[in-house]
Amino acid sequence: MPRPMPPPAAARWSPRLQGTLALVTLLALLLFVATAAWTQWARADLDPVRATLSLYLHGPWGVALRTAYCVLALAIVLLAGSLHAGSASPRRSAAAPLLFCVAALGLATVAIGDSWLPGRAPLLAPLVHGLAANTAFLCVSVAMLLQSWYLRADPQWSRWAGLAWGWAWLCFVLLWLHVLWRGPPRGAGQKLVIAMVVAWLAAVALQCWWQARRARR
């Protein structure tokens, strides 16, 4: 009977550490979702269907949402590192975690830049915001596709990787529909893309947590 192939030598993180990082990622994602949902309810001055989430970064509860953006960026970095370190896929490479990290950097730039750029450099602020936000969306969607492709060759993920792959493609298509199709309300379209991406991240983090628990047993 053939022996199972061991994970790559670079996968040095213990199951306990991977499980802890996955749990922290889930809590960070939950905090982001709760904060974003609260701002939608608390801000009666904005139309939640037409206003994009970035408009809520200013005004009441803006600081809380900017903080939640940074928490989400941290969650993306932690999940990317955990997936890369624990992967047993022969397709494993640094491309996906690097793209996830660039996406997190773009997200943090949106949050931090919007806290002081509009007041100090009002002409530069929209350019920085647009470039950072587009970078975050594009990099995270491509990273999700790459990571899902890696997972399809990983025996640990054989039962769930197909769903992750299809889900990542759906997010990618929805992103480009939002960019190219100007018919639907901009706020609803953007929030749908964000919700789908966060749901993918949460589902993958949950799977990482379960796998780490099984490995520890």
Burial state string for 179-206 with b = 16 or more CB within 10 A and e = fewer than 16: eeeeeeeebbbbbbbbebbbebbbebbb
pLDDT of residue 184: 86
CA pair distance 168, 149, nearest whole angstrom: 10
The pLDDT value given to residue 159 = 85
Per-block mean pLDDT, blocks of 10 residues, the chain (217 long)? 42 76 94 95 92 92 95 94 84 92 96 84 88 96 96 88 95 95 90 96 93 77
Euclidean distance between CA atoms 61 and 142, whole angstroms? 31
- The pLDDT, as a whole number, for residue 104 is 97
3-state secondary structure (DSSP) of residue 168: helix
> Which element (helix H / strand E) includes 47?
none
* Dihedral (Cα; 158, 159, 161, 162), 10-degree rounding: 110
CATH topology of domain 15-216: Rhopdopsin 7-helix transmembrane proteins (1.20.1070)
Q: Are 197 and 144 in contact (CB under 8 A)?
A: yes
